Amino acid sequence: MVDPERALDARAPGGLELRAGHGLAGLLQAAPPCLRLADLPTPVERAAWLDTSGVEVWLKRDDQSSTLYGGGKVRKLEWLLASPPFNGDEPILSIGGIGSHHLVALALNLQGLGRKLHALTFDQVVTPHVEANLATLMSLGAEIWDVRTRVGLPVAWLAYHLWRRPAEKGVSMAPGASNGLGGFGFVAAGLELAAQIEAGEAPKPATVYITGGSAGSSAGLAIGLALAGVGCHLRIVSAVESWSFNRILYRRMLGQIAAALAVYGLDPARLRGGVSGLLAGAGVTWSIDHGQVGGGYAVPTADGRVGIARAADHGLHLETTYTGKCLAGLTADLGRGDVRGPVLLWNTHGANDLRRWIDLDWRSRLPAGLRGRLDALRERRGDG
């Protein structure tokens, strides 16, 4: 559970100082406050079971980033929840699928702060994993507005603010906690990896695989690696369709994070050539793979399920929406011989057991329409 006393320190004048030795502390003249929600650094370890001829594979274990709820989301939330407009007492409004990892991470961490989650949710295939996430949201008292489809989200957002008007209106947080400041979590992650490489805990990777959706994690990581001088190729395996995540949107997120770093005192010389100059100067390149999206966001794929089963045989727990597809992308590239090694697979999934949070009557708290659709959504599911 988040320590409320420690969390409240971030609201005091001056905020909460960064951890001792934090990579960003040495790069920013006026670092923003940061809650200590994550257990960092996360380990790097060998994944010899993924090796192919001439290519060595390593894992970055962000599934171990928190005993409350791990994965990559907590890296972003510990920055956002410490700063305006998210460090008050009101609810936070955000967006995600009914089994969203972001919403679960947000609900759990808000509970530790005595706060509430408001969420606009859309349907997704109900795997056992998705159902556990939804059950957790309901059990934690999250208030959700059932939108059904992603297409309806803009209208639902307007309705929330203009005519539904909940008794206590929430502060809007970007999907996936992905904005300029949220990206600091993965800028710091890139610096963290660089320190582990320097300490001899892992080799410098030629290629890093990470999933992509709202772009904050992968964009922050690219900038962090560049600031640390770790030249490599970032292979971003998209979990969403190209209209939702593409090169244009990725560059925009890179720009937002770079702009936020400048606001907090990053040496202007670092960004003299813009973010593209920063990446190019460090030898950091990137590409987006949409080949694993399959039937769409959060629709399980056969290759993703194969990857999940294979990972489980080696004690690694993945899921069908993001990390299973990321592993499938890596496996496909390895099979074609398209990968430069060593390879680092960044596991962003929070695999914590959520059963301790789930109440038996959680279904009764669902909006009536969603409660009536659950069985239909479950009939189409694959293994989660």
Bridge pairing between strands 57-61 and 343-347: parallel
**354 near 103, Cβ under 8 Å?**
no
- Work out the percent of the chain whose per-residue pLDDT is above 70: 95
pLDDT digits (tens, 9 = 90+) for 43-99: 999 999 999 988 999 999 999 999 999 999 999 999 999 999 999 999 999 999 999
pTM, entire model: 0.93
Which pLDDT belongs to residue 144?
Answer: 95
Q: Inform me whether the pLDDT recorded for 382 exceeds 50.
A: no
**CB neighbour class for 206 (10 Å; exposed up to 12, middle 13-18, buried from 19):** middle
Domains of the chain by range and CATH? 27-73+178-347 (3.40.50.1100), 87-172+360-379 (3.40.50.1100)
For 262-314, write each residue's pLDDT tens digit.
999 999 999 999 999 999 999 999 999 999 999 999 999 999 999 999 999 99
Name the residue with higher pLDDT: 358 or 376. Answer: 358
Sheet strands side by side (includes 171-172): 143-148, 117-122, 92-97, 171-172
Least-confidence region, from 161-165, 331-335, 345-349, 361-365: 161-165
Tokens of 103: 């919403």
Chain centroid to CA 186: how far?
9
Q: How confident is the model at residue 20, as a pLDDT?
A: 79
Q: Would you give the DSSP letter of residue 245?
A: S
In terms of Cβ atoms closer than 10 Å to its own Cβ (0-12, 13-18, 19+), residue 181 is buried
Q: How far apart are CA 298 and CA 126, in angstroms?
A: 9
Concatenating the DSSP letter of every residue in 323-369 gives HHHHHHHHHHHHHHT---SSEEEEE-------GGG--TTGGGGS-HH
Q: How high is the pLDDT of residue 12?
A: 34
Which candidate, 25, 108, 94, places its Cα nearest to that of 66? Answer: 108
Query: Would you state the pLDDT for residue 15?
Result: 45
Kindly give the pairing relationship between strand 117-122 and strand 44-46.
unpaired
